[in-house]
A and B are shown apart, each in its own frame.
Chain A
Amino acid sequence: MANSAPLISLRGVTKVYGEGATQFQALKGVDLDIAAGDFVAVMGPSGSGKSTTMNILGCLDVPSAGTFLFQGHHVETLDRDQRALLRRRHLGFVFQGFNLLSRTTALENVELPLLYRGDEKRARRQAAMAALEKVGLDQWWDHTPAELSGGQQQRVAIARAIVTSPDVLLADEPTGNLDSERSIEIMELLTGLNRDSNITVLMVTHEPDMAAFARTVIHFKDGLVERIEAHHRPGETPERVEAN
């Protein structure tokens, strides 16, 4: 897998926020390749540009300069709507703050991406229930976010992200709002999805314990990639967890 053309490729990507005196360069020329099927953890100090990079990779934002290839196609030249369609077809998102629709059942939340894809009601229901089953919440399908714990909400969010069978799952600090036990459950879920459904997972985390689940760890510093660390024995539970 490491030898095939990368799924994602960034070259000289910069990001400048603001204008004039308040201008701030968040990314200063990032080069990065991510192989399909990888499980990547992004680490680094606060303000080092992790979220900025994730937003660009997630096609939620555009780079100020540089190129971004996704499956060999240029993304930096796409317009708003084209990026939205790319997100719809290929990407799934999990946020630190869950970001579920309030007063909306778990099932309806998970269904939402399928609605925009135009699926029929039956197909929608089935796929959404299957996704909820994968995250172990099929029993809770008719609960609203207010009736679910943080860990459960994040699992619903993961179900929503994978219901369209995306190529990439992007998660910016998915365990940031959860206790360690709940965090490990989420990580095991992501590991399983990466392994069984062959979804490439990109995850930002501050916690080494969580990064230990990944196969590749990218360290950011001051808007640049500082170093990339590959864990051995890909696809297996990392050593560090065993060591703990």
Chain B
Amino acid sequence: MLGTTFLLALRSIRRHILRSFLTILGIVIGVGAVVTMVTLGKATTAAVQSQIAALGTNILQIRPGQGFGRGGGGPRPPDFKPEDVAAIASQIAGVTAVAPQAQASATAIYEGANWSTTINGTTAAYFQVQPWPLVNGRQWTPQEEQAGKAVCIIGNTVRQNLFRGGEAVGERFRLGDVSCDVIGLLSTRGQAGFGGDQDDVVIMPIKTVQRRFTGNRDVRLMLVGVDQAYATSTVQASITQLLRERRNITDGREDDFNIFDTKQISDTLTGTTTALTRIVAAVAAISLVVGGIGIMNIMLVSVTERTREIGIRLAIGAVAREVLLQFLVEAVALSCLGGLIGLVLAQAVIAGLTPLLQVPWTFDPRINVIAFAISAVIGVVFGYFPARRAAALNPIDALRHE
């Protein structure tokens, strides 16, 4: 009996191929839109979060200048000095470590290969503030750091391009005018949304960089690790106070440096993308509803034809239950097919858009299941309930239906 029902339902779908197509089109688009939007939204959120996580949480970044897009005119505020680093490390409660950074760029040369890269001069505190394990080799020793030895830890991109993927630790290469020993290899961090390729870097003791590359004692950037037990905002306020004093900023004048709280940025951006995802998902959900209305229209248009059909089936001896089961199977089959096509379509669109949007490819089973379930429900509601009404008629009235 169930086999017969399936056969009848499939025949009916095949016979009314245009009607079936129009019926599922709404579901295809609706499901496709919802799944695509929600997935891409979540992927964007995840991308933002991972980029922020790469910066490290509970870290304050301190730079000279007034931050994003501000501090237009006037001379550029001075960089920090090593004394500022020491002062923050020793005077502010809740600070676990302060990593200064001096930056330069130079061309690295090794056995005929050359690669232009960024040099990041810092101290061992850098690896304390943010986790960035080595996959090979070692840290520089305090002695090497103190003496400003030309030792370096390289990122994977440098290894790929300069050493052609070969074993780099233990090798010596030229970095600008400096002959440099590779003592460590960093684990891969990947692409960051802002800041480009994080693995394209050579990290050296800050003294080495200052002496051999920048030629001054300036510190361009400080990374401050904050103890979990302290609120970053409090620490941030104390540091602001201290730096204002050290940089002789009189009351009433604005800071000539800025402090980023990565956690705060993370929360803000995550909140923003989540809200955007919700809005976009809501718009997509509307398209699913519109799809449902489309199905209802098609079903209503065909209801005369279908009511007669039901009358015929009842007259030749079908029990109402059998007719209903057929219509139910037909409705569920159609909407599930539409749902499936929508899911596949969504995956295709997602696969096509993720590289363009530079977000990671993700698969969220939950939204797929939800969208699919909604499509099934829509199909049943709009396909089955009109049929149920028709099957409740007596065969005569159903046959006579205009």
Interface stretch among B44-52, B188-196, B282-290, B318-326? B318-326
Separation of A104 and B312 alpha carbons in the complex (Å): 13
Q: Can you list 19 A-B pairs, Cβ within 8 angstroms, ordered by A?
A: A55-B396, A80-B319, A81-B321, A85-B319, A87-B315, A88-B316, A88-B318, A91-B317, A93-B316, A99-B308, A101-B309, A102-B305, A104-B11, A115-B7, A115-B8, A116-B313, A116-B318, A116-B319, A116-B322
Tell me the chain A residues, 139-154 only, with Cβ under 8 Å from chain B: none
Question: A176 → chain B, closest Cβ, in Å?
Answer: 14
Query: Is residue B16 within 8 Å, beta carbon to beta carbon, of the partner chain?
Result: yes
Additional 14 contacts, C-beta under 8 A, given A99-B311, A116-B316, A116-B322? A60-B394, A60-B396, A80-B320, A84-B314, A88-B317, A92-B316, A95-B315, A99-B315, A101-B309, A101-B312, A102-B305, A103-B15, A112-B313, A116-B313
The chain A residues found within 8 Å of chain B, CB to CB, are: 55, 58, 60-61, 80-81, 84-85, 87-89, 91-93, 95, 97, 99-104, 108, 112-113, 115-118, 160-161, 164
Separation of A81 and B314 alpha carbons in the complex (Å): 10
Contacts of B305 in A (CB 8 A): 102
Q: CB within 8 A of A115: which of B4, B320, B396?
A: B4
Query: Is residue B399 within 8 Å, beta carbon to beta carbon, of the partner chain?
Result: yes
Query: Is residue B356 within 8 Å, beta carbon to beta carbon, of the partner chain?
Result: no
Q: By the criterion CB–CB under 8 Å, are A89 and B399 in contact? A: no
The chain B residues found within 8 Å of chain A, CB to CB, are: 1, 4, 7-8, 11, 15-16, 305, 308-309, 311-322, 394-396, 399
Contacts of A95 in B (CB 8 A): 315, 399
Q: By the criterion CB–CB under 8 Å, are B15 and A84 in contact? A: no
Q: Main SS of chain B's interface residues?
A: helix
Contacts known (A99-B311, A103-B15, A108-B11); A84 close to B396, Cβ less than 8 A: no
Separation of A113 and B11 alpha carbons in the complex (Å): 15
Question: B333 → chain A, closest Cβ, in Å?
Answer: 17
Question: A139 → chain B, closest Cβ, in Å?
Answer: 22
Question: B315 → chain A, closest Cβ, in Å?
Answer: 5
Q: By the criterion CB–CB under 8 Å, are B319 and A81 in contact? A: yes
Contacts known (A55-B396, A60-B396, A99-B311); A118 close to B4, Cβ less than 8 A: yes
Separation of A113 and B309 alpha carbons in the complex (Å): 13
Separation of A103 and B7 alpha carbons in the complex (Å): 16
Q: CB within 8 A of A61: which of B309, B322, B394?
A: B394
Contacts of B318 in A (CB 8 A): 84, 88, 116
Separation of A100 and B311 alpha carbons in the complex (Å): 11
Q: By the criterion CB–CB under 8 Å, are A104 and B15 in contact? A: yes
Q: CB within 8 A of A87: which of B311, B316, B399?
A: B316
